[in-house]
Chains A and B, each alone.
Chain A
């Protein structure tokens, strides 16, 4: 796919995010919209062995959405990639739906781990990467964490283990949109020099100045691994990206757009 085509998919995923959160009357659009380019790049270009017809292929690359509340972004991406039909959006967050409020490995095709309890996904991804090395599985493991999520001590426990076990088959993507539920990172719990902190934990870091620029995201995800070190991609992103009234607004972390707002958002996201 060309970069332009990937950008078109990202725009469609953003529309999916708006549609499904509107239908459900709930969900997390802000952090889904900031993560969209990375999710689309992973599933449409970067990850090997992604196949909706064989989603249990043991050698497939894995993805764990550690910031599990960005489920609408993941669901939109999986849907566009062909794992299920758009009709599932009608049942997002509904009884018997495969699209649970947070990703569920038992219910949703294409999901590799159940997440939502913050801090856990990165640790599970570390275990997957370690298990892959142990069994000689050539797959690469990707996980996406949030900056608010990085308040959790577990993120750092997992990072310590990733470096200790020299997991160069692991890529941690930090969606650094600068905001969490109750305010900006600095208002809630300062992350300080986030680059220096993750570097000190032993990651090989690539910083992406605009994590919502498809080409920049692709370049980072395709950069060759650094032998013996886990990779961290520090994506500087914009919360609510693509919808003018959501951009940079803390209030859209976990709120669904109403009918009028949905119409406006979809208009802004027309091709």
Chain B
């Protein structure tokens, strides 16, 4: 069996922290970059940018919808605005993202943090489990769900180079940092080859999927592991390739099983053959308060639980 091509640096860093650092780096390289926040700079980690570039940081107050359309207007003056707030407020500002930014194809970026149940104690009201679904369906939107700090930096850099709307989903919880891997927008990342089944994942579920792969190996199952930092445009070709190679497909995401990565994979492989297909994620329900580790267990997303679900389906 082949090894997982992931080299832990031993560091842990929340993807949102990497987002904040990446904005500062980007700010140094590109003076067109401005950052907007809705009174959450200490949480979305844009406060680093605010400190270094106070004249390029705009607080919009607790008014996310207005922030998004202000960014739309600013983009028409040649600026590259990055809007930052919690992923759950993608819903609150959705009409603005749709009609104010995507419909005219304005050059606005969304760095939305605290996605998924690993937000933890703040509870279900704040745990976005629908943001990928909302963003995927918008024409012209690029959707990133980076798996670690290094990938997030690459996503932020790429976002500034794309002419059009880009959504970056980031997590609050510190997670392992892996050595940086080659990055191409719209391309998936084969982290382990395998012949018995394939696990497709995105975001910080990568850590738990890597654990599941080890457990499966101990049970004699050789699983392939593919991570997607780009949910849209989706690397359908790669998804289909590993589907056809293994015949048994599992998707794992910290998002509803409806509308996210699982459905992107389904769109890619549906009608192309007969495969085992199971989506592992949040099963059409809301989250709740708790410690992130306890929540992952409650919703069946630990490495051991992922492995168990796969074994049952094979």
Binding site for B on A (CB under 8 A): 58, 62, 64, 104-106, 112-114, 116-117, 119-120, 123-132, 134-135, 137, 154, 157-158, 160-161, 164-165
Cα–Cα, bound, A269→B104 (Å):
35
Are A128 and B69 in contact, with the CB atoms below 8 A?
Answer: no
Cα–Cα, bound, A128→B73 (Å):
4
Are A112 and B76 in contact, with the CB atoms below 8 A?
Answer: yes
Are A137 and B61 in contact, with the CB atoms below 8 A?
Answer: no
Contact with A along B20-53 (1 / 0, CB 8 A): 0000000000000010000000000000000000
Partner of A123 from the list B61, B70, B78 (CB cut-off 8 Å) is B70
Please, which residues of chain A bring their CB within 8 A of the CB of B96? 120, 123
Are A134 and B77 in contact, with the CB atoms below 8 A?
Answer: yes
Are B77 and A132 in contact, with the CB atoms below 8 A?
Answer: yes
Residue of B nearest to A159 (CB): B66
Cα–Cα, bound, A46→B90 (Å):
38
Most chain B CB atoms below 10 A, which of A113, A123, A135, A158: A123
The verdict on B103 contacting chain A, using a C-beta distance below 8 Å, is yes
Cα–Cα, bound, A137→B79 (Å):
12
Contact with A along B54-74 (1 / 0, CB 8 A): 001010110101100111111
Contact status of A157 and B74, CB under 8 A, knowing A114-B104, A116-B99:
no
A60 CB, nearest partner CB in chain B, Å: 11
B91 CB, nearest partner CB in chain A, Å: 15
Are B61 and A160 in contact, with the CB atoms below 8 A?
Answer: yes
Cα–Cα, bound, A157→B100 (Å):
15
A76 CB, nearest partner CB in chain B, Å: 22
Residue of B nearest to A127 (CB): B73
Given A117-B100, A127-B81, 10 other A-B residues pairs in contact with their CB atoms under 8 A: A104-B103, A113-B72, A123-B72, A123-B100, A124-B73, A127-B70, A128-B74, A131-B78, A134-B34, A137-B77
Please, which residues of chain A bring their CB within 8 A of the CB of B63? 157, 160-161
The verdict on B105 contacting chain A, using a C-beta distance below 8 Å, is yes
Please, which residues of chain B bring their CB within 8 A of the CB of A137? 77
Please, which residues of chain A bring their CB within 8 A of the CB of B78? 58, 131, 135
Are B77 and A123 in contact, with the CB atoms below 8 A?
Answer: no
Contact status of A157 and B76, CB under 8 A, knowing A105-B104, A120-B99:
no
Partner of B74 from the list A131, A158, A164 (CB cut-off 8 Å) is A131
Are B95 and A130 in contact, with the CB atoms below 8 A?
Answer: no
